[in-house]
Structure 1
Amino acid sequence: MKADKKKNEQSTSSMKVETISSNGLHKRNKHHGRYDFVQLVNALAELKDCVTLNPRGEESINFSDPKSVKLLNRALLAHHYDVTQWDIPEGYLCPPIPGRADYIHRAAELLSAECKTVKHPMVRALDIGVGANCIYPIIGATDYGWQYVGSDVDKVSVDNANSIAQGNASLARNIECRLQSNSQNFFKGIIRKGEFYDITTCNPPFHKSLQEAEQGTQRKIKNLKANKLKKGTLSLASQDSNLKETGNAALNFGGQKAELWCPGGEAAFIKNMVIESKGFADQVLWFTTLISKKDNVKWIRKNLEKVNALEIKVVEMSQGQKISRFVAWTFKSPSQRAKWLKLKG
């Protein structure tokens, strides 16, 4: 793996801005290369019936089939994370794990860069929009020992995520999921008095409406089929578990309303999150969120300047040809952050 490249920038305000770019998956990511289906079938025998040979003679699955992808995720979680009790209700988001894992590893690296002696089992994290799949807390808890709180506006998601946590001995003491009773809030009603978090994570809904979400899904199905015809296989980066096309071309994709779209889409979501984060500046060290649309990076920077954030980091992640990113921001100075993390060193 080539060394990560870092570029420092300075905004027109006093806010420090840094862009961090990386080539390939993080070195600690467990999902480099192709899936090892021999090991995965050993971890979950049910997956065997879904494994086929692609035109190149390589083992794979049909990534446009929700059942196959769910079983793949179950096998990955069992094999790599010792999570043997995992399932999601029908119609809920079943995310590709490699990219989700990279977000957690880069977030952990952010903390380690601030304090090389930080003890990760002492880290307290918050996931906004945990979903029924509970993926971010699972990876943070198993790979780093983080104490994770997850929140969601959907009760089914919260109940299912808590069921996953309680059903696995490796997660039960590290994960707690809470219901957000007000869909307009992010941290209010979740972060309690006297609670402090070292980092937050979030995967915002991308779309502005159900119609836009459906159009996006149609494009993904088209691209997925084109990719299969062109390459005869699918790389880890092109895994997409949210797609299913019925005979009459109607779509039944994984993901509920709160997982896929919200009024104003991603731009409005992150703007409101930034505004509310100011009120929790004393209780959170680093706020972070994924951003799917590159143009929204400028948008979040503009709004962070308005709330007087002191520093932001744009962390770019790559999987094959796919580039994703998350933005991290803080209201604390370097000396304040050092003092905070010294307690966990």
Structure 2
Amino acid sequence: MALNKYMHPRNIYRTPPDFAKLSKDFAEFAAISQLDVTGKVTIDFKDPKSLRILTKCLLKSDFNLNVEIPEDRLVPTLPLRLNYILWIEDLLKAIDKDNNVRGLDIGTGACAIYPLLAAAKNKWQMVGTEADEESLSKAQNNVQINNLQELIHVKKIETTSIFNELFGKESEQKFHFSMCNPPFYSNIQELCESRSTARPPPKNGFTGSPHELITEGGELEFCRKMIKESKEHKHKIIIFTTMVGHKFNLEELLEDLKAEGLKHTNSEFCQGRVTRWGLAWTYQDYEIYKLVPPREKPRKKNVSTTYQLPELTEQTNNFETVHNKIKSILKDLQITHKVLNKRGNSLSIDIVATTNTWSNQRRKRRLMKRQESEQKKIKLDAAKEISVVNNNLDEKSEIPIASVSGDSDTATNTKSNQPEVDSIGEFERLQENQELVHAFIKIFMKQAQVILETEFLSGSSGKEGLHQIVQYIKNNWK
């Protein structure tokens, strides 16, 4: 289901863009658009070129911005970027700041999309930092062609530090907020394996360079580094913020901020079929944690459920055994799973099930025994027929060998081709490219007890499907 209705209430893209109007106003958009069977104007969202042209035309139409988007760089999705900007506006209200705002965009990218939107929409003064030379040049060019040099400055960062080089020892510049859309992945392999093969393919085409998508340690470690460095510059930036792409990482970062005793808040950015999260914290005396971004139609939150698994024997009641046991059960269920984090006596896993392998286990076993019995009977009957043939041959029967063999094969094939009233296959309802259950599970040991915590994310079997998987795990734990 599309998430447009859960966008920020001030997001103009809650109402989808008028593609028919865009095709009339922009010749390049008309060139990539087409009429579907209902007469509606649409584009190929899996084509990166179409995405670039769409974004370029929307920026011009809605914000009067002329933006060049390089072919080998990330195409920014405007609804998401605008959600982030609007959330920043809400945060600034919490500190009573609505004019002469100064913001910092970490890793601004070739489009410098956040500074451009912030300057064009709100007249905020923005500084963007960028480490990649080519992206830096493209970003500076986009600022110049829109005549926003007085509001936007893009600075080259030479080191791996996030804030240190920007401020330096003698720098007096201060910001009301910082924002960042960090790379998600730690290496090429993680990028390629980030989406389970069991999940349906994404609706939109893939864009972005390795520089924009990969960083050492991935998104989680980058954000942790940001939190660590923020301590040194807590008087230079009032509110630190970042976007988070994986919900599991958000939960880990929230725990980090709680451990540091920092005032913090977070929000959900919904748009199209994608959800991202915003995370903010401050060292100063502002109650941003009381801020709840307004939403006309609150989205029902997923709530985690906790179960206690049966106690193991004293010899096997250790976390390594627990780890191996849960992986073995998931493998038996043919559930695709990926370990997100293993730390101490805690293991977090992302699971995707596309086939119901956990229901009607007793009936399946009965059917398997029935099939085994039928197979044995077929083999026994065949053996008897062969014995009769051999006896007849011994008695020099006039029955031709070929005729006997043919009759035997015919009898066997006729029997094996009869339709089975009950079959295990009827329970294996493989739903191609469709998730039955997508969830997070966390398993950990608390004293001698093994605790299983689950959170349903999506899937056609709903929370009941996840509950059935948990019941299977409990039944087979020993």
For the superposition of Structure 1 and Structure 2, which TM-score range results when normalised by the shorter chain?
Answer: 0.7 to 0.9
Distance 1:141 1:218, change over 3 A: farther
Aligned position for 1:101 = 82
How far apart, in 1, do the equivalents of 2:17 and 2:128 lie? 28
Amino acid at match of 2:264: I
Q: How does 1:151-230 map to 2 (within 5 A)?
A: 151-169=129-147, 171-182=148-159, 184-191=160-167, 193-216=171-194, 223-224=201-202
Q: Is the 8 A contact 2:94 2:287 kept in 1?
A: no
How far apart, in 1, do the equivalents of 2:31 and 2:77 lie? 20
How far apart, in 2, do the equivalents of 1:142 and 1:217 lie? 35
Unaligned runs of 5+ in 2: 289-478
Amino acid at match of 1:40: L
Distance 1:209 1:130, change over 3 A: same
Deviates further, 103-112 or 29-38: 29-38
Q: How does 1:17-36 map to 2 (within 5 A)?
A: 24-36=6-18
Deviates further, 274-283 or 187-196: 187-196
SS of the equivalent of 1:28 reads: coil
SS of the equivalent of 1:172 reads: coil
Distance 1:256 1:55, change over 3 A: same
Q: How does 1:277-296 map to 2 (within 5 A)?
A: 277-296=230-249
Aligned position for 1:136 = 114
SS of the equivalent of 1:27 reads: coil
How far apart, in 1, do the equivalents of 2:272 and 2:85 lie? 18
> What's the CA shift for 1:70?
0.9
How far apart, in 1, do the equivalents of 2:103 and 2:244 lie? 19
> What's the CA shift for 1:48?
0.6
SS of the equivalent of 2:127 reads: strand
> What's the CA shift for 1:222?
5.1
Q: Is the 8 A contact 2:5 2:14 kept in 1?
A: no
Aligned position for 1:127 = 105
Aligned position for 1:47 = 29
Identity %: 30
> What's the CA shift for 1:306?
4.9
Q: Is the 8 A contact 1:39 1:79 kept in 2?
A: no
Q: How does 1:191-270 map to 2 (within 5 A)?
A: 191=167, 193-216=171-194, 223-224=201-202, 240-241=204-205, 243=206, 254-270=207-223
Q: Is the 8 A contact 2:243 2:279 kept in 1?
A: yes
> What's the CA shift for 1:89?
2.5
Q: Is the 8 A contact 1:315 1:326 kept in 2?
A: yes
Unaligned runs of 5+ in 1: 1-21, 228-239, 244-253, 337-345
RMSD: 2.5
> What's the CA shift for 1:88?
2.6
> What's the CA shift for 1:33?
2.1
Amino acid at match of 2:267: V
Normalized against structure 1, the TM-score is what?
A: 0.76
